[in-house]
Amino acid sequence: MAQVLYHQFPLSAEAHRTAASSSSKPMKHISVSTPQKGPLKRLQKTQKLNLEVSPHRAVSAVRLMRIELGGAFADLLNEKGKGSGENEMGYVERTLGFRTRELNDQDLRLVTDIVGGTIRWRRYIDHLISSLSHDKNIYGMEPLLLQILRIGFYEIVKLDMPHYAVVDENVKLAKVALRPGAGNMVNGILRKLVLLEENQSLPLPKVEGDDRSQARALATLYSHPVWMVRRLTKYLGQEEAIKLMMWNNSEPSYSLRVNHAKGFSRGDLVKQLTALKVSHKISLHLDEFVRIKTGLQIVIHAGLLRKGLCSVQDESAGLIVSVMDPQPGDTIVDCCAAPGGKTLYMASHLGGLGKIFAVDVNSGRLRILKETAKLHQVDGVIATIHADLRTLTDSEVLKSNKVLLDAPCSGLGVLSKRADLRWNRKLEDMEQLIKLQDELLDSASKLVNPGGVLVYSTCSIDPEENEERVTAFLARHPDFHIDPVDQYIPADFVTDRGFYSSNPVKHSLDGAFAARLVRGS
């Protein structure tokens, strides 16, 4: 199961300061008549254009509303970013009742920064809002008012923006989008926050008392769900859990994988990045990968992804493919393949010889895989199968010497990139996922020929989803045994039991896990 990446493009401190006050202009309301072509005649559409309100704050507020109330995913919204301006402004107009000027590149970077940061720090921010509001039940507020306050609080406590400009701009947004009284409320609360921030006296909890009390305090201070804090502390200890939560709240970095199938080398990519003035580092672990901290938007606009010359893929996922060890001529079954990051990488290793059967229950995601495979010119070795893996266990056609089960999981290893994932997961989900992982492992094992290998992988750092699932599987299937991964990946990633494990804090990569399980002859 490939995780969709959340594209975060951080701004410099100077850009934040400039953007904070860039829209402090006299108020203008303009009625714009935009001609549209219809089947019979030209229609006139009157739009209310507001040049007073900060465009990136208006768009950020609407995106946050769509994510929290409409079930949209932050990473998908931010992937679309550039080029979806008309659609984006349509959402703003329907939600707020007016349009702003179109977003420029700096606006777009601010939107992704503010939306991602506000979501990451939501529990921390909500604690502060509740502490400074007369009504402590802030979730009873109008949804738009709450989002405006969250934006203002994030900008004041986490971004290097002039406080006076942040207050002024968010008050304007509340007054125009809601009513004058809402603006007055935002003004009063944000001014309280500014005073406390400048005096370094924010009302934050202390980490003290029993384990539950400490977990609640840590959950607020580092903005994670309480159940997740308790789970991380249980397995890692408090000190390491704090380090991991700090990593999850930091700006994510990305890796680009070159597509050799198009004759594009890492050297070619390095030349392109240098020409685009995108800072980069060569991967220490994989020959096809280059790391970038900022500048992904520049890479996207340059068309490198659109042309299929490279793709965004974390090295932790690439190392899972190394554990799989695809070779020319192999027949491979990828059990939960879509949207296909690992499938495509494995296909590039086949050199046009062999076959990958990509199985997935989601037809829409399989369609994306097929389109991307064609773009990357590896579609000749990929066959897609739309089905639930658990219904394919009697299929002789899919019997193979190499089977990959990249299982649906909690995603606890990718929280730095998936800003909203921590709030969409519940403790009950873990029980359901573990049951599903066991079922999928049992089904995948039936596709492995005698002497063949089954690779089980996740993008989680949770032992119950990783090591414990393998232990339980081996107890049910004594004909399988562990094949240590040390001959496939660097020793720094190999556990005592011979599994692959990447640690976000230790390796500066997403968290991931893989085990090679060989079936007896």
419-457 residue pLDDT tens? 899 999 999 999 999 999 999 999 999 999 999 999 999
Asked if the bond preceding 39 is cis, omega within 30° of 0, the reply is: no
What is the average pLDDT value for the chain, to the nearest integer?
A: 89
Judge whether residue 78 has pLDDT over 60: no
Question: What confidence tens digit (pLDDT) does each residue in 23-43 have?
Answer: 444 344 444 434 444 443 333
The pLDDT tens digits for 50-64 are 888 999 999 999 999
Residue 143 burial (CB count, 10 A): 14
Does residue 352 or residue 20 have the better pLDDT?
A: 352
Q: Tell me the chain's radius of gyration from C-alpha atoms.
A: 25
Whether residue 157 has pLDDT greater than 80: yes
Backbone angles phi, psi at 404, to 5 degrees: -110, 125
- Between the alpha carbon of residue 103 and those of residues 9, 10, 100, 149, 341, the distances in Å are 15, 16, 8, 22, 31
- Whether the model pTM is above 0.85: yes
Taken in order 163, 166, 170, 171, the sign of the CA dihedral is positive
Residue-wise pLDDT for 166-223, tens only, equals 999 999 999 999 999 999 999 999 999 999 999 999 999 999 999 999 999 999 999 9
- Nearest CA to 461 out of 406, 410, 510, 412 is that of 412
Q: How far is CA 284 from the centre of its chain?
A: 23
Q: What is the pLDDT of residue 7?
A: 34
| Backbone phi, psi, residue 460, to 5° | -120, 155
Calculate mean pLDDT across residues 253-272.
95
User: Could you give the C-alpha distances from 113 to 6, 12, 147, 161, 173, in angstroms and in order?
Assistant: 11, 11, 15, 13, 18
Give φ, ψ of 493 to 5 degrees.
-105, 0
With cut-offs at 50, 70 and 90, classify the pLDDT of residue 358.
very high
Say if residues 118 and 125 touch (Cβ distance below 8 Å): yes
How is 458-476 classified by DSSP, letter by letter? ES---TTTTHHHHHHHHHH
Pairing of strands 400-406, 448-458: parallel
CB atoms within 10 A of CB 492: 11
Percentage of the chain surpassing pLDDT 70?
A: 87
**Under 8 Å CB-to-CB from 159, ≥6 apart: which residues?**
16, 113, 114, 117
Residue 419: the pLDDT is 85
Judged by average pLDDT, the poorest of 13-17, 277-281, 485-489 is: 13-17
Question: Mean of the pLDDT values across residues 349-369?
Answer: 95
Backbone dihedral angles phi then psi of residue 45, each to the nearest 5 degrees: -115, 115
Q: Which is it for strands 331-334 and 355-360: parallel, antiparallel or unpaired?
A: parallel
Q: What percent of the chain has pLDDT over 90?
A: 76
- What is the per-residue burial (b if ≥16 Cβ within 10 Å, else e) of 174-183? bbbbbeeebb
Angle at 369 between CA 499 and CA 346, to 5 degrees: 40
The whole-number pLDDT of residue 4 equals 34
Residues designated catalytic: 459
Q: What is the pLDDT of residue 160?
A: 81
pLDDT above 90 (res 484): yes
